[in-house]
Homo-oligomer: A and B are copies of this chain.
Amino acid sequence: MLIVQKYGGTSVGSLERIENVARRVARAREEGKDLVVVVSAMSGETNKLIEYAHHFSKNPSRREMDILLSSGERVTAALLAIALQEMGHDAIALTGRQAGIRTDSTHTYARIEEIRTDMIQQRIEEGKIVIVAGFQGINEHGEVTTLGRGGSDLSAVALAGALKADACEIYSDVDGIYTTDPRIEPRAKKLKHISYDEMLELSSLGAKVLQNRSVELAKKMGVTIIARSSFSDDPGTIISEEDESMEAVVVSGIALDKNQARVSLREVADRPGIAAEIFNKLAEEQINVDMIIQNASKDGTTNLGFTVPQSELERAKEAISQGFGGEIGGADYDENICKVSIVGVGMKSHSGIAAKAFSTLAENNINIEMISTSEIKISMVIDEKYGELAVRSLHEAYELDK
C-alpha cells in the first residue's frame, strides 16, 4: 500500500514537531506502508522570507521570489529525512526538481504540468521513505518555480495521482472537516466523509485544511484525500467522489463568508450585452465576482446585483464609475453583508431544502437580501450581524448536531 502524506507548516513548526512527524511516519512505515511524505516550510518561515523581499521591493521579481521561497521546504525535507534516518529508517530527501515535479513558467503561481515519477518510483522500490520538499518544481528551462499558497497540498495530491497512491493524507492542526465552524457553533460535528464537490462549496470551512486548487486536482485525478491532524490519532475526514451513502445525507455543512461586499447597480440601460460588458470589465480588473442577480424592472432599465470580496470593492467601484457612467442610474455598495451557504449532495434528490432555509431565517427575523442556488448549494446574502445566528439556526434546523 502506497500512501502520500503531507505535513503542513504548523505540523513541522519546530524541531520537536518535526520529531513528532518523524515518529508518525515511522509508525506508518512499521505498519508496512510505502510512503512518500511531502512537507511544507516550518510555519513562519515563508512569511519571514516574503517580509525580507518586501524590505527591498514592494513588487519583487517573481522569478527571484521562487528561488527565495523554495528554500524553506528544502530545509524541512532534509531535517525530516535526517530524523527518520536516526530512527533507523531508510529515508531520502528530494527537492521538487528531484521529485520530478515539472510546472509551467508562471512564477509564484505555477501549475504542475507533469510529474516524472521514475526517480521516486526507483527510491520506493529500493525500500526508501521518500521525503519531498513541497510547494516547488522546475519549468522546462530548469528554472525554480513555486505553486502559490497551499502549494504543498498540490504537490502531495499531484504526486498521489501520478504514483497511483492509495490515499493522500493531508495533515494540519485541524482534525477534519466540520459541519460548520466550531467557533460559531460548538455543537458542530466532524464529518467522516465528504464529496469533492461539497468540499469545494464548503471551502471556507476547509480553508485551514486544504485549498480549492488541491480539491479540484484530487477530483480530476481521482485521489482520495484524508484530512487529519498531526497532533491526534483521529481518523479525520475522507474527501472522495460521492457515493450512495453520502446522498442519504441531505445537508453536509453550513459555511459563513464574511468577506463579501454587495454591489447593487440601479437603472442599468436594458440593452443586450450590457451585463457582459460590465462583468468583462470586472474580470479584466481581476475582480472575483461571486453571486449575480438580475431583475428586469418595468421602465426599460434593469437592476443588477452581485457580490465581490471586500478587499476588491474599491477596485470594483472604480471600474464601474470609469466604464459605465452614462448607462448606470446609480450604484449602492454594502460591506456589511455576509453569505451563508448550505451544502449537501443529497439536495439533488430531496425537495424542500431551500424552503426550510428561508423559513428558518424568517423565524429569526433575518431578512434575505440575495439568493443563489446550485445543485448542491443554497447561498443567501444577509446582514452581516446576523451571520452567526443564521449559521446556528440552520445547523439546528438541518439537525447537523445529531
**Residue numbers in B under 8 Å from A68 (CB-CB):** 74-75, 78-79, 82
- Residue contact B82 to A60, C-beta cutoff 8 Å: yes
- Residue contact B95 to A82, C-beta cutoff 8 Å: no
- Residue contact B93 to A64, C-beta cutoff 8 Å: yes
- Residue contact A75 to B71, C-beta cutoff 8 Å: yes
- Residue contact B98 to A82, C-beta cutoff 8 Å: no
Mark the stretch among A51-59, A182-190, A197-205 that contacts chain B: A51-59
> What is the distance, in angstroms, from A92's C-beta to the closest C-beta of chain B?
8
> What is the distance, in angstroms, from A42's C-beta to the closest C-beta of chain B?
9
A310 adjacent to chain B (CB < 8 Å): no
A118 adjacent to chain B (CB < 8 Å): no
A15 adjacent to chain B (CB < 8 Å): yes
- Residue contact A56 to B83, C-beta cutoff 8 Å: yes
Question: Which of A79, A95, A144 is most buried by chain B, counting CB atoms within 10 A of its CB?
Answer: A79
- Residue contact A77 to B67, C-beta cutoff 8 Å: yes
- Residue contact A78 to B65, C-beta cutoff 8 Å: yes
Q: What's the Cα separation between A15 and B144 when bound, in Å?
A: 23
- Residue contact A56 to B15, C-beta cutoff 8 Å: yes
A142 adjacent to chain B (CB < 8 Å): yes
- Residue contact B71 to A56, C-beta cutoff 8 Å: no
**Residue numbers in B under 8 Å from A49 (CB-CB):** 75
A285 adjacent to chain B (CB < 8 Å): no
A301 adjacent to chain B (CB < 8 Å): no
Question: Which of A67, A83, A144 is most buried by chain B, counting CB atoms within 10 A of its CB?
Answer: A67
- Residue contact B56 to A86, C-beta cutoff 8 Å: yes
Q: What's the Cα separation between A65 and B79 when bound, in Å?
A: 8
- Residue contact B82 to A64, C-beta cutoff 8 Å: yes
> What is the distance, in angstroms, from A82's C-beta to the closest C-beta of chain B?
4
- Residue contact A61 to B74, C-beta cutoff 8 Å: no
Question: Which of A57, A77, A133, A142 is most buried by chain B, counting CB atoms within 10 A of its CB?
Answer: A57
A43 adjacent to chain B (CB < 8 Å): no
- 11 A-B pairs with C-beta separation under 8 A: A15-B55, A15-B56, A53-B78, A60-B85, A63-B92, A64-B81, A64-B93, A67-B95, A67-B133, A68-B75, A71-B75
